[in-house]
């Protein structure tokens, strides 16, 4: 079913059929209706590849993110998908599983695939070779969740958010507050959040503890179990993300501690599920769908204007602390007496 058959059937030229779909105003109303009818009865759908080849515009946005297994990114992708459809774009997502070679591959595939722009969540913008090549390619792109002065980023101020969380916990009376993170090398987000922790502790006049690094999911109970069984165990855990917070709560349970009675736990991301848990997750809420939506909008804008996004075109979205049920004042017995 090509434009040619529609043209023949309608007794007009292919140019006219094309105009009916792309510049309807430039076609006489009668002709237009006629062509539209023929097209409909024939079930004609303009061929996207041909159009892309001709116009050098695919109306497809590439998306590169670590995994859909973490609801943060699933929520974000949902936002991207919605905004894309609304803007007349399709998307082409790739998953990297936090691996740099996969980042590279995805960007290549996308570049060859004629996407009009890309949204990516990279491990580390400062060192990503994929990002480098992309920037050189002159294709519009925007980073989501990352943060870097040389690139347009849509994110929240993670560092500040975590600092505030620590302050909050300190205000509740906590003194031994620990940070739980995934592999620090795996993402700049993790690093920012740890910096926020360090700053928060400093501001509260507390001594920062070594970050509890959970190298992979299954290691959580072990790593945390050890920390929670120590003599001077923390009374509060600041987790770098919600998934980690959920596992920390589990680890606490396995160690015989109740949350929040014996231990407070705070997450980061605001995944929807957090509110359905018992205890409801206390967390830093960012709208993941909005991060996706705004990324699409920036990109659409760049595509329309024909120029890539400058590093200053990024967006820092608002975040907020949601007081759930997983954090409370420390057990009295564990509050050190004033000195």
- To the nearest whole angstrom, how small is the minimum distance from the Cβ of residue 10 to its own copies? 19
- To the nearest whole angstrom, how small is the minimum distance from the Cβ of residue 339 to its own copies? 36
Choose from its own copies, DNA, none: what does 111 bind? Cβ within 5-8 Å by kind.
Answer: its own copies
Closer residue to its own copies (CB): 62 or 314: 62
Choose from its own copies, DNA, none: what does 317 bind? Cβ within 5-8 Å by kind.
Answer: none
Query: 317-329 burial string, b = 16+ CB within 10 Å, else e?
Result: eebebbebebbbe
- To the nearest whole angstrom, how small is the minimum distance from the Cβ of residue 34 to its own copies? 21
Closer residue to its own copies (CB): 94 or 321: 94
Write a three-state SS string for the chain: CCHHHHHHHHCCCHHHHHHHHHCHHHCCHHHHHHHHHHHHHHCCCCCHHHHHHHHCCCCEEEEEECCCCCHHHHHHHHHHHHHHHHCCCEEEEEECCCCHHHHHHHHHHHHHCCCCEEEECCCCCCCCHHHHHHHHHCCCEEEECCCCCCCCEEEECHHHHHHHHHHHHHHHCCCCEEEEECCHHHCHHHHHHHHHHHHHHHHCCCCCCCCEECCCHHHHHHHHHHHHHCCCCCCEEEECCHHHHHHHHHHHHHCCCCCCCCCEEEEEECCHHHHHCCCCCEEEECCHHHHHHHHHHHHHHHHHHCCCCCHHHCEEECCEEECCCCCCCCCHHHCCCCC
Closer residue to its own copies (CB): 164 or 242: 242
- To the nearest whole angstrom, how small is the minimum distance from the Cβ of residue 306 to DNA? 13
Choose from its own copies, DNA, none: what does 2 bind? Cβ within 5-8 Å by kind.
Answer: DNA
Choose from its own copies, DNA, none: what does 153 bind? Cβ within 5-8 Å by kind.
Answer: none
Q: Taking the C-alpha atoms of 261, 214, 282 and 270 in order, what is their torsion angle to the nearest 10 degrees? A: -160
d(CA 261, CA 256): 11
Choose from DNA, its own copies, none: what does 132 bind? Cβ within 5-8 Å by kind.
Answer: none
Closer residue to its own copies (CB): 191 or 288: 288
- To the nearest whole angstrom, how small is the minimum distance from the Cβ of residue 305 to DNA? 16
- To the nearest whole angstrom, how small is the minimum distance from the Cβ of residue 136 to DNA? 18
Closer residue to its own copies (CB): 89 or 197: 89
- To the nearest whole angstrom, how small is the minimum distance from the Cβ of residue 163 to its own copies? 27
Contact status, residue 176 vs residue 236, Cβ threshold 8 Å: yes
Choose from its own copies, DNA, none: what does 276 bind? Cβ within 5-8 Å by kind.
Answer: its own copies
Closer residue to its own copies (CB): 5 or 78: 78
Q: Which residues bind DNA (CB under 7 A)?
A: 2-4, 11-16, 18-19, 21-23, 26-28, 30-32, 44, 46-47, 50-51, 53-56
Choose from DNA, its own copies, none: what does 15 bind? Cβ within 5-8 Å by kind.
Answer: DNA
Closer residue to DNA (CB): 13 or 203: 13
- To the nearest whole angstrom, how small is the minimum distance from the Cβ of residue 96 to its own copies? 10
Q: Which residues bind its own copies (CB under 8 A)?
A: 45-50, 52-53, 58, 60, 67-69, 71, 74-75, 77-78, 81-82, 85, 90-95, 105, 108-109, 111-114, 243, 246-247, 249-250, 253, 272-273, 276-278
Closer residue to its own copies (CB): 163 or 241: 241
Structure tokens at 18: 């094309």
Contact status, residue 248 vs residue 177, Cβ threshold 8 Å: no
């Amino acid at each position: 079913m090509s434009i040619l058959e529609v043209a023949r059937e309608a007794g007009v030229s292919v140019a006219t059929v094309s105009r009916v779909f792309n510049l309807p105003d430039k076609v006489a109303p009668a002709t237009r209706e006629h062509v539209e009818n023929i097209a409909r009865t024939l079930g004609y759908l303009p061929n996207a590849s041909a159009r892309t080849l001709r116009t050098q515009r695919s109306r497809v946005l590439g998306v590169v993110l670590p995994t859909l297994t973490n609801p943060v990114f699933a929520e974000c992708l949902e936002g991207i998908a919605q905004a894309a459809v609304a803007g007349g774009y399709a998307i082409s997502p790739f998953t990297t599983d936090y691996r740099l070679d996969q980042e590279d591959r995805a960007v290549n595939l996308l570049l060859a695939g004629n996407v009009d722009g890309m949204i990516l969540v990279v491990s580390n913008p400062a060192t990503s070779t994929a990002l480098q090549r992309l920037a050189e390619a002159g294709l519009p792109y925007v980073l989501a969740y990352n943060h870097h002065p040389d690139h347009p980023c849509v994110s929240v101020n993670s560092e500040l958010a975590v600092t505030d969380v620590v302050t909050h916990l300190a205000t509740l009376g906590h003194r031994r507050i620990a940070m739980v993170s995934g592999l620090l090398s795996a993402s700049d987000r993790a690093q920012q959040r740890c910096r926020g922790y360090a700053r928060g502790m400093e501001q509260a006049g507390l001594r920062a503890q070594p970050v509890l690094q959970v190298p992979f999911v299954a290691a959580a109970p072990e790593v945390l179990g050890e920390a929670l069984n120590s003599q001077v165990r923390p009374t509060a855990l600041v987790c770098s993300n919600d998934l980690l917070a959920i596992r920390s709560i589990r680890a606490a349970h396995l160690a015989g501690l109740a949350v929040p009675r014996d231990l407070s736990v705070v997450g980061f991301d605001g995944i929807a599920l957090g509110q359905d848990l018992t205890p409801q997750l206390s967390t830093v809420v960012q709208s993941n769908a909005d991060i996706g939506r705004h990324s699409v909008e920036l990109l659409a804008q760049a595509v329309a204007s024909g120029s890539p996004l400058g590093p200053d075109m990024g967006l820092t979205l608002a975040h907020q602390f949601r007081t759930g049920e997983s954090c409370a004042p420390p057990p009295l017995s564990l509050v050190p007496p004033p000195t």
